[in-house]
Chains A and B, each alone.
Chain A
């Protein structure tokens, strides 16, 4: 207990020096040769920026899949020359059901439907109902996998869209099953980004059912979609998607040569170009709707087959909206709508204020604790203060090593750790005092003091650690950051007090062999 091997001493000192080395990058602007380049990230509350929590609309994923399934059902039956009545989808139950044209076709229907392609194995089951109908049920498991995939895909598209805005150092992370966190340092007004992310940008090309114009019930397989320019007007559009926006390879904003209006030019990949050419060739003279997020942007009449794979959308754009639409088309459509459910944005001046306030608090708090320890514990108090400084250095070092984010609550955590960190030293010192008061020799008092205090120190720190693990597990954002700094703080505190400050005390004793301890 009173003996410190050279190796142990060397390791303790080495850890402290390593800590100093790891802290260094935080004081530098540019990477320096020979210094590990790992800095603490400043949280949005300290440097200004925006935090958006977005939720993927899972209902729409189910509804979309059901719509495609209903489409597929229709197609599969028609291909086999079978008929159907009343195809309905039920998003809640996740089913598509219909009634066969004739009870005798039932087995043929079942066979045709079971042969439909599945995206994932076991995606749906086809069953006959007691009343003679047929029901196709999506398996919940397959839907979950699909949803998870949709979130992954959404993250990719969100990243592409945000990168296109030129945001610096954006962080996009998944949270839970259906949420995405977007952090944008330096963007203190996220209005534009919110608008970009709030658009699904699903572009599809459908034929217009001209015969149904003006009718309130356009018939099966045709929907009345509102016009983008005037939501009160609708146009009957065939549900079947002729060409999909996912076949686009490029899109850009440009000024239309003839009208002088802003337009968005786009080009298809070879599959898209082929489909586009076929559709236009077969439907010359008919109207063709460009649908964006279930709104008809434009419905021009097809004059000739468009074979080059290029197209143009016009329709009341200005420079910004044309650029945005081009950006969205390039980045691709979101598999489901995203909605912002939490937004926090901090202006840069408030961040600077917070850093100043935090730094002042840390400095003043540190000074007060140092003064207190020096006044009440003398020499051993200074050893505790040395350990305290090392503690601060090590905390910063560990935060840098993991490139953790420091927020204002994190700074509060560091401050509290400083207050708590000397506790172990106080426990040791008080124990030694007691042993001295009982008339033990200096050596025996130190030995007994260390020994007895250690179990108390471990117990009290373990309970504090427990409380903060809970805080970390159940907290979010800033609270987690606070808990994390304290958890790191508890570990560094144990190291600096049980090893470093004790080492200083023991070395001092070994050097001077005092008969009276300065406690």
Chain B
């Protein structure tokens, strides 16, 4: 354990023919992504507080939560809760309210008054305490959503530009197409798991994009190097070789990131949703580097890359 490695991820000198299964890989990915888009359209993402606006109050009751009592306390404050539900432990309760619509007069002030009413209701329950109370006005939530989407879009463009600049357009386009496929699958995952889509999830998705790009850049880097080294090798064979050569690293790095994020998913309390999405993204990103990004590069670059590679750049 202190000197020589005890384990090896991938046996030395693998020669797995990934490109043979390229159409299966692309088709599977396309089907999953299309399914995700359908899920996105219906039933759609569960929007979190950041993007939907409204009020969420987390409370901890004394002993297991008595929902009838909580509802009665809320009713006494004239609060019409959209949802009272438990989460995590049996004494943890989530009270959810919709914000007054943005076109209502004084909607911001009314939202704030509602939070205070919920606090008073919780204070009337013996031994209960407010763990967290968040209220986001309708105008802010729309703005946060716009910024979140803008961040996603601009990052994709920047990644496209960067890879284009460092490699060739075939690399950039295949990488970004793969990223879009990864992104749609992650959204599908969010729909299925009902994790709330909020700013923290946008952060998770952007991290996945960054990580996934990182992974693709390493494979592409090797492809580029091999293009110069093996002038006559057919591109399919060359891409296979590059994937095989970097396979050990790809799996090694994915494993360490996976291992680092796993405890957060298990013990991370309020960040566990974020961490689960990360874990999903790591698996998707790693597999798409091998099964999607590389085949796309083969499709796009079959003729061009070989011709261009002759005078080594």
The one of B158, B256, B264 that contacts A423, using a Cβ cutoff of 8 Å = B256
Contact between chains at B213 and A191 (CB < 8 Å):
no
Contact between chains at A379 and B2 (CB < 8 Å):
yes
* Interface-centre pick from B112, B136, B150, B211 (highest chain A CB count, 10 A): B112
| B124 contacts partner chain A, Cβ-Cβ < 8 Å | no
CB-nearest residue of chain B relative to A51?
Answer: B134
The one of B2, B203, B268 that contacts A483, using a Cβ cutoff of 8 Å = B203
| A307 contacts partner chain B, Cβ-Cβ < 8 Å | no
| B302 contacts partner chain A, Cβ-Cβ < 8 Å | no
Complex interface bits, A315-352 against B, C-beta within 8 A gives 1, otherwise 0: 00000000000000000000000011111111101100
In the complex with contacts A361-B264, A474-B151, A346-B131 CB distance below 8 A:
yes
In the complex with contacts A365-B260, A416-B207, A434-B154 CB distance below 8 A:
no
Contact between chains at A464 and B203 (CB < 8 Å):
no
Contact between chains at B261 and A518 (CB < 8 Å):
no
Expressed in whole angstroms, the Cα–Cα distance for A361 and B129 within the complex equals: 26
B: number of interface residues (CB 8 Å): 84
Contact between chains at A347 and B108 (CB < 8 Å):
no
Contact between chains at A466 and B155 (CB < 8 Å):
yes
Expressed in whole angstroms, the Cα–Cα distance for A430 and B225 within the complex equals: 16
In the complex with contacts A376-B9, A379-B4, A452-B225, A475-B147 CB distance below 8 A:
yes
Interface pick from B18-26, B62-70, B159-167, B187-195: B159-167
Expressed in whole angstroms, the Cα–Cα distance for A372 and B259 within the complex equals: 9
Contact between chains at A369 and B159 (CB < 8 Å):
no
6 residue pairs bridging A and B, Cβ less than 8 Å apart: A347-B130, A378-B4, A467-B155, A476-B144, A478-B199, A518-B5
| A409 contacts partner chain B, Cβ-Cβ < 8 Å | yes
| A510 contacts partner chain B, Cβ-Cβ < 8 Å | no
| B104 contacts partner chain A, Cβ-Cβ < 8 Å | no
CB-nearest residue of chain B relative to A467?
Answer: B210
Interface residues of B in 43-86 (CB under 8 A from A): 58, 60
Shortest Cβ distance from residue A224 to the other chain B in the assembled complex, whole angstroms: 20
Interface pick from A210-218, A286-294, A454-462: A454-462
Contact between chains at A364 and B252 (CB < 8 Å):
no
Expressed in whole angstroms, the Cα–Cα distance for A119 and B252 within the complex equals: 67
Expressed in whole angstroms, the Cα–Cα distance for A166 and B2 within the complex equals: 56
Shortest Cβ distance from residue A518 to the other chain B in the assembled complex, whole angstroms: 5
* A-B pairs, 4 with minimum CB distance: A419-B260, A467-B210, A474-B151, A419-B257
Expressed in whole angstroms, the Cα–Cα distance for A364 and B261 within the complex equals: 10
Expressed in whole angstroms, the Cα–Cα distance for A86 and B292 within the complex equals: 73
For B101, what are the chain A residues with a Cβ–Cβ distance below 8 Å?
A: none
Expressed in whole angstroms, the Cα–Cα distance for A482 and B271 within the complex equals: 12
In the complex with contacts A463-B213, A470-B151, A343-B133 CB distance below 8 A:
yes
The one of B8, B9, B206, B259 that contacts A470, using a Cβ cutoff of 8 Å = B206
Interface residues of B in 92-119 (CB under 8 A from A): 108-109, 112, 115-116, 119
Expressed in whole angstroms, the Cα–Cα distance for A317 and B293 within the complex equals: 71
Query: DSSP class of A's interface residues: helix, strand, loop or mixed?
Result: helix
| A519 contacts partner chain B, Cβ-Cβ < 8 Å | yes
For B154, what are the chain A residues with a Cβ–Cβ distance below 8 Å?
A: 470, 474
| B231 contacts partner chain A, Cβ-Cβ < 8 Å | no
Expressed in whole angstroms, the Cα–Cα distance for A263 and B97 within the complex equals: 39
The one of A342, A412, A427, A518 that contacts B3, using a Cβ cutoff of 8 Å = A518
Expressed in whole angstroms, the Cα–Cα distance for A360 and B272 within the complex equals: 13
| A37 contacts partner chain B, Cβ-Cβ < 8 Å | no
Expressed in whole angstroms, the Cα–Cα distance for A437 and B206 within the complex equals: 37
For A474, what are the chain B residues with a Cβ–Cβ distance below 8 Å?
A: 147-148, 150-151, 154
The one of B1, B109, B130, B209 that contacts A189, using a Cβ cutoff of 8 Å = B130
Contact between chains at A427 and B218 (CB < 8 Å):
yes
Contact between chains at B135 and A343 (CB < 8 Å):
yes
Interface pick from B34-42, B242-250, B304-312: B242-250
Contact between chains at B252 and A189 (CB < 8 Å):
no
Contact between chains at B217 and A418 (CB < 8 Å):
no
Q: What's the count of A-B pairs with C-beta under 8 Å?
A: 259
Expressed in whole angstroms, the Cα–Cα distance for A343 and B130 within the complex equals: 14
* Interface-centre pick from B60, B211, B258 (highest chain A CB count, 10 A): B211
Interface residues of B in 166-208 (CB under 8 A from A): 166, 199-200, 202-203, 206-207
Shortest Cβ distance from residue B58 to the other chain A in the assembled complex, whole angstroms: 7
A interface with B by C-beta (< 8 Å): 45, 53, 55, 188-189, 191, 194, 198, 339-347, 349-350, 353-354, 357-358, 360-366, 368-369, 372-379, 381-382, 408-409, 411-412, 415-416, 418-420, 422-423, 426-427, 430, 433-434, 437, 452, 455-456, 459-464, 466-468, 470-471, 473-479, 482-483, 486, 518-519
Contact between chains at B249 and A437 (CB < 8 Å):
no
Shortest Cβ distance from residue B95 to the other chain A in the assembled complex, whole angstroms: 14
Contact between chains at A475 and B199 (CB < 8 Å):
yes
Expressed in whole angstroms, the Cα–Cα distance for A360 and B267 within the complex equals: 7
For B287, what are the chain A residues with a Cβ–Cβ distance below 8 Å?
A: none
Expressed in whole angstroms, the Cα–Cα distance for A482 and B199 within the complex equals: 11
Contact between chains at A408 and B270 (CB < 8 Å):
yes
In the complex with contacts A460-B214, A475-B147, A350-B271 CB distance below 8 A:
no
For B166, what are the chain A residues with a Cβ–Cβ distance below 8 Å?
A: 459
CB-nearest residue of chain A relative to B154?
Answer: A470
Shortest Cβ distance from residue B171 to the other chain A in the assembled complex, whole angstroms: 11
CB-nearest residue of chain A relative to B9?
Answer: A376
| B137 contacts partner chain A, Cβ-Cβ < 8 Å | yes
In the complex with contacts A358-B268, A430-B249, A455-B221, A463-B115 CB distance below 8 A:
no
Expressed in whole angstroms, the Cα–Cα distance for A344 and B9 within the complex equals: 46
| B127 contacts partner chain A, Cβ-Cβ < 8 Å | no
Expressed in whole angstroms, the Cα–Cα distance for A278 and B30 within the complex equals: 83
For B131, what are the chain A residues with a Cβ–Cβ distance below 8 Å?
A: 346-347, 349-350
Contact between chains at B267 and A519 (CB < 8 Å):
no
| B313 contacts partner chain A, Cβ-Cβ < 8 Å | no
Contact between chains at B267 and A430 (CB < 8 Å):
no
For A518, what are the chain B residues with a Cβ–Cβ distance below 8 Å?
A: 3-5
Expressed in whole angstroms, the Cα–Cα distance for A379 and B1 within the complex equals: 8
For B236, what are the chain A residues with a Cβ–Cβ distance below 8 Å?
A: none
Contact between chains at A412 and B271 (CB < 8 Å):
yes
Shortest Cβ distance from residue A37 to the other chain B in the assembled complex, whole angstroms: 30
Shortest Cβ distance from residue B97 to the other chain A in the assembled complex, whole angstroms: 13
For A341, what are the chain B residues with a Cβ–Cβ distance below 8 Å?
A: 108, 136-137, 139-140
The one of A345, A357, A418, A462 that contacts B134, using a Cβ cutoff of 8 Å = A345
